[in-house]
C-alpha cells in the first residue's frame, strides 16, 4: 500500500473496505504503483480474500501491468468522450480484440466494470449457452477482415441474464493506416427480437393451420400468382405445392370462366370479398372439379392489401347431383307439359268427335225414322215396290251407320294405342288383287280399276288388316270422287327397299290449301259435300300407315285428279 500512488490511496482503501464489509471473496482495483526506479506503472490488482470468522485475515492476489492498456485507454477516452455519454453501450478493443475500454451504458447492460474485464476478449465473458456458434464464427471472420459490420447475437450479463444485442463494429485506423482499435456500439434488441420471435411463431402457427386445414386454402399475390397452397388443395386437385407456386392461379380454371373470375380477383384487390362462388377447376388429370370458394383480401401488418386468400370446398358431387335433379325436374316438367298438351288435344278432339259423330248419326237416323214413319202411316196406300224401296233405304242408312260406328271404334282404338301390328306372310300381288276385286265389285256400276304390280318378290311380311284398310280406303275414295267413266289405277312397286302403293284417279281433286287437313278426323274438302262420307277414312288410313312405320303423300289438282302415295317398309 505504501507504493500506491497517493492519489489512488483513499479510493483503493475504500474499495477494499467495501469488499471486507460485504464479505466478498474477490477484490480488484486499478491504481498506479511505484516501481523501484521511482516511476509509476498502472496495475490491475486482483485478489482473493480469506476470512476467519467473518474477519478478513489474508488476501492472495496478483498484479498485472496494464500501463499500456491505460495509456491506450487514456488516448481513446478522448475518442469516446461522446461514447461515454451515450445510452448505447460502447466497447473498444485493440486490434487483437482485447477489451481496452467500455462505457457506463455497457456496465449497466452487462454488469461488468472495466477493471473486471479489461484486457479480455469480450466474447469470452459475454457469450453463453444459447449464443449461436455460427454467428460467433461469422463475427470473428469479419474482425479478421478488418472491415465494418453489423450483426446480432445473444449475450449474457454477469448475473446470467440473457439478452439480444445488435452490434455495429467499425475499425479505427491511425494516420499511418495501421489498425488501432475496433469500436463496437451495441444495442439491446431483446424486446425487438422477442417481438420478432412472437411474430415468427404466430406466422408459423398460421402457416401450420393453413397447411393442415381440411379444406383447400391457397394464397394469391397481387399479380395473380399462387404463393400459398395447402395440403387439402394439393390432395383435391392433384397438384403439389411445387407444381403451383409462382403459377398464375387463373390457369387452373376452365378457360371459359377465366375472364369473369378475374373480375372477382380485382374486386378482392380493392378490398371487397366474394363468398360462395361455384367455380369449375381442372385437376391435374384434366378432369372438372367444382369448388365453392370464398375470396378475401389479405392484409400485411400495415393493413395494406398484398394479396388474396381463397378458401374452397369441393362440391363436385353436390353440383352433379343438383344438375341431375335440375335436369330431372326439367325433363319431368317437359313430359308433364307434353302429356298435358296431348290430353288437351285429345279432350278437344273427343268433344269435337262426339259433336260431329252425333251430327253424322242424325242424318241417317232421321232418314230411317222418316222412311219407317211413312211406311207405318201410309202402309195401305203404298205399293209393295214402294215399301220395298223404303225398306232398302232403311237398310242402306243402317249399314252407313254401322260403317260410321266401325270407323269411330277404329279411331278410338288407335287413339288409345290399342292397335298392335301383327305381321303375317302374304303374297302381295294376290292379296292386293283380291282387295281390288272386292272394291270394284262392291262399287255400284262395277267401275274399272287397273292394277299394276311390278314388285320383284311377291311374298312380304305385313299386317293384313292394316294393309287392307289402306288399300280399300284409297280405292273407295278414288272411285267415290271421280266420274263413272274414268278408270282408277293402282300400282304396287318396290321403292328403295319399301313397298310403294300409288292410287291415281282423274276426279274432282283437292284444293292445295286443304291437302294437310283431310287427314284429320271428320275433315272433308270443301268440294266433297255432294259425295257421301264421314271424313274418317283418311285419318284411320294415316294411323295405319304410321303403325307400319310408313308414310303417305298426296298430289292433287282440282278437277284433274289425285294421286295418293303410300310407302311402307315390309321386309
Q: Which residues bind ligand ADP (CB under 6 A)?
A: 473, 477-478, 481, 505, 507-510, 518, 524-525, 528, 533-539, 562
Compute the least distance from the CB of residue 383 to ligand ADP, in Å.
34
- Sequence-ordered alpha helix ranges (H) in 288-383: 316-377
Compute the least distance from the CB of residue 469 to ligand ADP, in Å.
11
Compute the least distance from the CB of residue 534 to ligand ADP, in Å.
4
**Angle (nearest 5°) at CA 335 between 330 and 336:** 100
Compute the least distance from the CB of residue 554 to ligand ADP, in Å.
8
- For 509-522, the DSSP string reads ---GGGTTGGGSTT
Mapped onto helix, strand or coil, the DSSP state of residue 228 is strand
Which residue lies nearer to ligand ADP by CB, 288 or 512? Answer: 512
Quote the cell numbers at residue 376. 207405318
Q: List beta partners, residue 171.
A: 182
- For 362-410, the DSSP string reads HHHHHHHHHHHHHHHHTTTTS-HHHHHHHHHHHHHHHHHHHHHHHHHHH
Strand order in the sheet with 498-505: 449-453, 488-495, 498-505, 561-569, 551-557
Quote the cell numbers at residue 203. 406466422
Compute the least distance from the CB of residue 392 to ligand ADP, in Å.
22
Which residue lies nearer to ligand ADP by CB, 267 or 468? Answer: 468
* Residue 476 near residue 490 (C-beta atoms within 8 A): no
Q: List beta partners, residue 565.
A: 502, 553
Which residue lies nearer to ligand ADP by CB, 217 or 536? Answer: 536
The residue among 106, 38, 39, 44 whose CA lies nearest residue 70 is: 44
Which residue lies nearer to ligand ADP by CB, 102 or 536? Answer: 536
Which residue lies nearer to ligand ADP by CB, 247 or 476? Answer: 476
Which residue lies nearer to ligand ADP by CB, 50 or 405? Answer: 405
Compute the least distance from the CB of residue 339 to ligand ADP, in Å.
28
Give the whole-angstrom CA distance, residue 10 versus residue 24: 19
Compute the least distance from the CB of residue 478 to ligand ADP, in Å.
5
Compute the least distance from the CB of residue 280 to ligand ADP, in Å.
57
Going by C-beta distance under 8 Å and a sequence separation of 6 or more, which residues neighbour residue 207? none
Which residue lies nearer to ligand ADP by CB, 390 or 524? Answer: 524
DSSP conformational letter for 25? S
Which residue lies nearer to ligand ADP by CB, 210 or 508? Answer: 508
Strand order in the sheet with 26-34: 26-34, 40-52, 55-65
Amino acid at each position: 500500500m505504501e507504493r500506491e500512488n497517493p492519489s489512488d490511496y483513499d479510493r483503493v482503501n475504500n474499495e477494499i473496505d467495501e469488499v471486507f464489509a460485504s464479505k466478498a471473496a474477490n477484490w480488484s482495483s486499478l491504481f498506479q504503483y511505484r516501481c523501484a526506479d521511482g516511476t509509476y506503472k498502472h496495475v490491475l490488482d486482483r485478489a482473493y480474500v480469506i476470512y476467519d470468522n467473518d474477519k478478513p485475515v489474508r488476501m492472495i492476489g496478483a498484479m498485472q501491468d496494464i500501463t499500456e492498456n491505460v495509456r491506450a485507454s487514456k488516448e481513446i477516452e478522448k475518442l469516446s468522450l461522446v461514447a461515454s455519454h451515450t445510452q448505447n453501450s460502447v466497447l473498444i478493443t485493440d486490434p487483437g480484440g482485447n477489451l481496452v475500454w467500455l462505457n457506463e451504458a455497457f456496465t449497466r447492460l452487462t454488469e461488468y466494470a472495466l477493471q473486471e474485464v479489461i484486457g479480455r476478449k469480450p466474447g469470452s465473458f459475454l457469450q453463453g449457452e444459447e449464443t449461436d456458434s455460427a454467428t460467433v464464427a461469422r463475427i470473428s471472420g469479419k474482425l479478421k477482415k478488418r472491415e465494418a459490420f453489423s450483426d446480432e447475437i445473444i449475450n449474457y450479463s454477469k448475473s446470467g441474464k440473457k439478452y439480444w444485442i445488435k452490434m455495429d463494429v467499425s475499425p479505427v485506423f491511425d494516420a499511418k493506416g495501421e489498425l488501432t482499435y475496433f469500436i463496437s456500439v451495441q444495442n439491446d434488441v431483446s424486446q425487438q427480437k422477442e417481438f420478432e420471435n412472437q411474430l415468427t411463431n404466430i406466422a408459423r402457427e398460421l402457416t401450420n393451420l393453413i397447411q393442415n386445414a381440411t379444406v383447400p386454402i391457397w394464397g394469391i399475390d397481387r399479380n395473380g400468382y399462387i404463393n400459398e397452397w395447402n395440403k387439402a388443395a394439393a390432395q383435391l386437385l392433384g397438384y403439389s405445392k411445387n407444381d403451383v407456386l409462382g403459377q398464375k392461379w387463373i390457369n387452373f380454371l376452365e378457360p371459359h370462366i377465366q375472364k369473369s373470375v378475374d373480375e372477382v380477383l380485382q374486386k378482392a384487390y380493392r378490398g371487397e370479398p366474394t363468398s360462395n362462388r361455384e367455380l369449375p377447376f381442372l385437376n391435374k388429370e384434366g378432369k372438372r372439379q367444382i369448388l365453392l370458394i370464398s375470396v378475401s383480401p389479405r392484409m400485411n401488418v400495415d393493413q395494406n392489401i398484398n394479396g388474396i386468400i381463397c378458401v374452397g370446398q369441393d362440391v363436385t358431387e353436390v353440383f352433379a347431383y343438383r344438375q341431375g335433379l335440375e335436369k330431372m325436374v326439367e325433363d319431368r316438367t317437359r313430359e308433364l307439359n307434353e302429356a298435358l298438351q296431348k290430353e288437351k288435344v285429345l279432350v278437344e278432339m273427343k268433344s269435337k268427335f262426339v259433336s260431329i259423330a252425333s251430327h253424322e248419326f242424325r242424318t241417317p237416323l232421321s232418314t230411317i225414322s222418316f222412311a219407317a214413319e211413312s211406311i207405318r202411316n201410309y202402309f195401305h196406300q203404298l205399293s209393295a215396290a214402294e215399301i220395298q224401296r223404303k225398306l232398302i233405304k232403311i237398310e242402306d242408312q243402317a249399314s252407313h251407320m254401322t260403317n260410321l260406328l266401325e270407323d269411330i271404334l277404329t279411331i278410338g282404338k288407335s287413339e288409345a294405342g290399342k292397335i298392335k301390328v301383327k305381321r303375317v306372310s302374304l303374297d302381295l300381288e294376290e292379296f292386293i288383287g283380291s282387295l281390288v276385286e272386292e272394291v270394284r265389285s262392291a262399287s255400284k256400276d262395277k267401275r274399272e280399276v287397273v292394277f299394276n304390280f311390278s314388285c320383284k318378290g311377291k311374298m312380304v311380311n305385313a299386317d293384313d288388316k292394316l294393309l287392307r284398310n289402306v288399300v280399300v280406303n284409297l280405292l273407295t275414295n278414288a272411285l267415290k270422287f271421280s266420274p263413272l267413266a274414268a278408270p282408277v289405277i293402282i300400282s304396287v312397286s318396290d321403292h328403295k327397299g319399301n313397298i310403294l302403293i300409288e292410287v291415281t284417279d282423274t276426279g274432282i281433286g283437292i284444293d292445295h290449301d286443304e291437302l294437310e287437313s283431310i287427314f284429320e278426323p271428320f275433315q272433308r274438302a270443301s268440294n266433297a259435300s255432294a259425295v257421301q262420307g264421314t271424313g274418317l277414312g283418311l285419318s284411320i288410313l294415316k294411323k295405319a300407315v304410321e303403325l307400319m312405320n310408313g308414310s303417305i303423300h298426296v298430289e292433287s289438282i282440282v278437277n284433274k285428279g289425285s294421286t295418293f302415295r303410300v310407302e311402307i317398309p315390309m321386309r
